[in-house]
Structure 1
Amino acid sequence: MRNEQLADHLARSGMSRAELARRIKAKAREYKQPHIAPGVTRIRCWIEGEKPRAPIPDIISDVFSDHFGFRVTTYDLGFGEGSSVDSALVYDTSFTATVKAVAELGRADVDRRKLLAAAPFAAVAGVGPSRDWLMNTLDQEPTSGPRVRLEDVTAVKSMFETFQRMDIFQGGGSGRLVLADYMTQHVYPLLRRTHTEQVRRALCEAAAEQTYLLGWMAYDSGEHGVAQRYLIQALRLAEESKNAALGAHVLAGMADQATLLGDPQEGRRLAQAGRHGLSKAESPACLADLWCLEARALAKLGDKVAASRAVVQSETAFERVRPEQEQAWAEFIDPAYLHGEHAMTFRDLGEPKSSETHALRSIEHAHAQKRARRGAMSQAALAVSHVQRKDVDSAYAAGLRTLTLASQVKSTRAVEAVQDLRRRMQPFGKNRLVADFNERALAVVQAA
């Protein structure tokens, strides 16, 4: 039977069959599937009703999503339900579908399935979730099974602090698979059981917190496709919990990722969506973070005035923070974190003096807390501020401190900070200190 849905999407896209084949081949390389290279004849066969083998339907859906600027699923293309890789990118209005998607994602992560590890970051996937979260239009589907008690939820929430502190002090690569296994074996099954409304919301909140943490750990490990999928599902669970501040916190993570991956305009939009959502909640720490991340995005966009203003807004919001009144997930939003991020904002704006000031404040707090990852990233920002002022000796000293701290954690971001510093030192490559730093840095990168 002819696949009218695929034919219709192809016609509306304006692409020829040859162009679609070319884009599928290119997208397959992103999935680390270079053997997938269909020709025009194969495209014709698919339109005539032949169903391609996995993961080709997921790849085709990504091609059309990139082209149209909104998420096109395998179901939309007449291929039926896609893999957990694809379904985890969908912000589904069905709570049952959300539970299924996040459970499948967790299992795939624990099993380290190759398709999940190779799944690329989908640039357009954040548009729908942030919009739908703000619109707050969700269904409430009944579940069945043994009733979950508040005591069960309390046990889940008690684990969050342990895993969050593991991430803060040891890096995202340290405990993520342990957390993924805990969520898959214990927490996600609870979502399928029956609850009172009070328990259901509390359980969704606890699950959202830890699903976000899984995404953040994947982000810190450089697995951005995996991270994105966890964050989208965390946002959906946060919406189900009716915790607006938690949803805004998830959007902050999505904003950070978008900016890091080269789309600061999307990063800014996601941060703004989070701030709008906070109009229904009170969390000065989350607000400070959202302003901070908007500043990061604005700096990448080259808007010096707006970025500096956003830093001031972040600092103003943080003055109102009372730690005992904040939720557990906000623990990391402190002077070590915020000053470190502000240092990188001014680094990107080419203002080394302001970058140095914030970097030193971050380093002081991170050292007192023994936070090696944050210390490494802020030492790297400090080193860059010296490079920008052509002070190679000071840059070298800060660079060595960066290497020492980066080697103490399992964090791709810390390693990337080392690599970024190496690139920025290249103009001074003939300097003996730079040569020595490069040699030491290479050892740290290779060890990671």
Structure 2
Amino acid sequence: MEPNVLLESLIEESGVSRAGLAGHVNRAGRSRGLALRYEHTAVSRWLKGQRPRGQVPDLICEVLAGRLGRPVGLDDIGMGASAASAGTDAGAASASLSGFVERATALWRSDEQQRPHLTTVPAVTGTSAVMPVWEWENPPEDTDVSRPGPGRVSPADIAMLKAARDHYEQMYRKTGGIATRSRIVRFLNAEAAPLLRGGHSDALGRSLHRATAGLVAVAGICAYDSDAHGLAQRYFHQALRLAKSSGDRGLGGYVIALLVTQSLFLGDYRRSIAFAEAALRAAGGHITPALAADLHAMQAKAYAQLGDAASARACIGRAEAQAGRIHTGREPDETGYVQPGLVDVQVAEALIGLGDLPAAREHAASAVRAPAHDRGRVHRLAMLSHIELLQGEADRAAGTAAEMAVRARGMESQRLRDRLRQIRRELAASGCADAVETTDLIDEALRVPL
């Protein structure tokens, strides 16, 4: 079950407590001859995604409509047929785009309000995880995304959204996803949500959806970096739906690459391979060399974990071939993360899985020599230190890890903390004389709780 953010949003807007809503539903039921005895715990279950039986959803609509002074339907409270068929925020192809916008913006509001259940919900698996990718890849397409509405969206608005995406991506790279997430979610609510509800033509609407998709994807990255995997997945699914309505297949491929990254982290290697293949297949000629290189490299990592050395090495070859074709000036902003050396890091990790440590070290060292932003530099140093430890060169690894710890200061990222803790454990187990000083540096970087 996924949290019912639509119902939560309407409850908050109506000003009724959970116990109050339960009492109102009980009284409304009595007028229909129903003996209901709901308490606040039942409302909590509804907010977690449970759908009450019988006439109760209609009673909830009746109560909320009376308090809000406007009609409220089952779709409005997240219990209608479209919500059931959608399954995720990406929505089924038959679900209306306007309905998707309402579900998406309801999630943003709940996230800004720091609803605790949002960050603890695990990522969905099975059909619910696969359907958004399948729906992106397959018909029907959105033939018209124009929308009547108050105000009119302008090209200047879209330029602002694009600038915001770049701004928050840079913030994420410098300070981490934990520090950045609240800022970008606040921006989505204050700036992007009103624009999505505003009036726009089909052409301008597609540009609006593309720009918003880029922002939502960064929000998902920040949630992933904060260990809120269910929330991150929902943001990625939203970004994928917006990419589809924008008509930009390459952008959809980029969002799927984010889902592949998350699937790898969660250990779902087969899904990682399938998602990457879907992106490569469906984006076709719209996919850029940078994105193709990253997707092939991530497939190599997954195949290595599954013990398929032949497929892993084939993907490594394809990744390196695509990396050689990258021209920075011809890549969209979203694939700017594929900086020099990134593919080397991915390949090094795949080679570790294959047990080829000398080749892995060569790639990791090459990645460290290449220019990188602060976050990328920490990740690369962690990879090289890990390989040096695996090869029994603890003294050298301690020096590499010391630089890593210094560069990680000031970053609020669960993913980087995972790497720091891993290297600390390995250094401490090595018994190296220099390890004590380096582990102290790592402890200093980890001292402030996130």
Same fold (TM over 0.5): yes
Provide the residue aligned with 1:143 in structure 2.
Answer: 147
Q: What's 2:249 paired with?
A: 244
Matches within 5 A, 1:184-199: 184-199=189-204
Contact 1:340 1:374 in 2 (8 A): no
Partner of 2:267: 262
CA contact under 8 A between 1:271 and 1:294: conserved in structure 2? yes
CA displacement, residues 309-350 of structure 1 (integer Å, 9 cap, x when unaligned): 212211111222222221111111121322222222223333
Cα deviations by residue, 1:405-436 (Å, 9 ceiling, x for unpaired): 222422211111112223444653x4444444
- Give the structure 2 partner of residue 66 of structure 1: none
Distance in 1, matches of 2:97 and 2:343, equals 35
Give 1:250 deviation, angstroms. Answer: 0.2
The code of the aligned residue for 1:416 comes to: D
Secondary structure of the 1:320 match is coil
Q: Pick which of 235-244 and 383-392 moved more.
A: 383-392
Number of positions where the alignment pairs a residue of Structure 1 with one of Structure 2: 383
Matched residue, 1:80: 79
Q: C-alpha distance in 1, partners of 2:262/2:433? A: 36
- Specify the alignment match of 2:392 in structure 1: 390
Separation (CA, whole Å) in 2 of partners of 1:306 and 1:262: 18
2:185 corresponds to which residue? Answer: 180
Equivalent residue for 1:233?
238
1:159-207 CA-partner distances (Å, limit 9, x unpaired): 2222222222332223221111111111122111221111011000000
Counterpart of 1:332 in structure 2 is 337
Residue pair 1:160, 1:210 contacting (<8 A) in 2 also: yes
- The answer to whether the Cα contact below 8 Å between 1:57 and 1:79 also exists between their aligned partners in 2 is no
Q: CA 1:238/1:275 → structure 2, altered by over 3 Å: closer, same or farther?
A: same
In the other structure, the counterpart of 1:422 is 424
Measured against aligned partners, the alpha-carbon deviations of 1:201-230 in whole angstroms (never above 9, x if no partner) come to 100000001100110121122221211110
2:377 maps to which of 361, 375, 378: 375
Q: Which residue of 2 aligns with 1:128?
A: 131
Q: CA deviation at 1:143?
A: 2.8
- Distance in 2 between residues matched to 1:208 and 1:290, nearest whole Å: 19
Counterparts of 1:385 and 1:316, CA distance in 2: 24
Residue identity opposite 1:91 in structure 2:
G
Q: Distance in 2 between matches of 1:197 and 1:87?
A: 26
Counterparts of 2:46 and 2:432, CA distance in 1: 52
Residue identity matched to 2:390: Q
Residue number among 207, 216, 223 corresponding to 2:228 in the alignment: 223
Is 1:53 matched with 2:42?
Answer: yes
**Would you say the 8 A contact 1:372–1:409 is kept in 2?**
no
Deviation, 1:308, is 2.1
Contact 1:244 1:280 survives alignment (8 Å): no
Q: Deviations over 1:85-118 (max 9, x none)?
A: x975443432112211221111122111111122
1:100 equivalent in structure 2: 102
Letter in 1 for 2:443: L
Is the 2:196–2:208 Cα contact (8 Å) retained in structure 1? yes
Q: Give the Cα–Cα distance (whole angstroms) in 2 for the partners of residues 408 and 343 of structure 1.
A: 27
AA partner of residue 227 (structure 1): A
- 1:446 alignment counterpart: 447
Q: From the superposition, tell whether residues 441 and 208 of structure 1 become closer, same or farther in structure 2 (CA, over 3 Å).
A: same
Distance 2:78 2:106 in 1: 19
Residue aligning to 2:314: 309
For residues 251 and 215 of structure 2, the distance between their equivalents in structure 1, rounded to whole angstroms, comes to: 11
Deviation at 1:239, TM superposition (A): 0.3
Counterparts of 1:406 and 1:246 in 2: how far apart (Å)?
A: 30
Letter in 2 for 1:56: R
SS of equivalent residue, structure 2 residue 447: helix
- Following superposition, the deviation at residue 247 of structure 1 comes to 0.1
Cα distance in structure 2, aligned partners of 1:291 and 1:204: 27
Structure 1's 141 and 330: CA in aligned 2 closer, same or farther, altered over 3 A? Answer: closer
Which residue identity is paired with 1:167? Y
Please give the alpha-carbon distance, in whole angstroms, between the structure 2 residues aligned to 1:54 and 1:258.
32
Deviates more, 1:197-206 or 1:111-120: 111-120
Letter of the 1:267 partner, please give it.
S
State the SS of the aligned residue for 1:126.
Answer: helix
Shift in CA distance, 92/191, structure 1 to aligned 2, threshold 3 Å: farther
Contact kept in structure 2, 1:215 and 1:227, CA below 8 Å: yes
Aligned-partner Cα distance in 2 for 1:141–1:245: 19
Partner residue in 1 for 2:369 = 364
TM-score w.r.t. the length of structure 1 is 0.78
Same amino acid, percent of matched pairs: 23
Residue equivalent to 2:54: none
Q: Distance in 2 between matches of 1:55 and 1:406?
A: 40
Rg (Cα) greater in structure = 2
Gaps of 5+ in 1: 1-5, 7-47, 63-74
| Code of the aligned partner of 1:442 | D
- The correspondence for 2:348, drawn from 334, 343, 346, is 343
The 1-side partners of 2:302 and 2:340 are apart by: 20
Q: Comparing 382-391 with 145-154, which one deviates more in the overlay?
A: 145-154
If the length of structure 2 is used for normalisation, what is the TM-score?
0.78
Tell me the distance in 1 between the aligned counterparts of 2:416 and 2:427. 17
Distance 2:206 2:249 in 1: 12
Q: Is the 8 A contact 2:280 2:287 kept in 1?
A: no
Whether the 8 Å contact between 2:344 and 2:364 is mirrored in structure 1 is yes
**Per-residue deviation, 1:121:** 1.6
Q: Distance in 2 between matches of 1:183 and 1:249?
A: 20
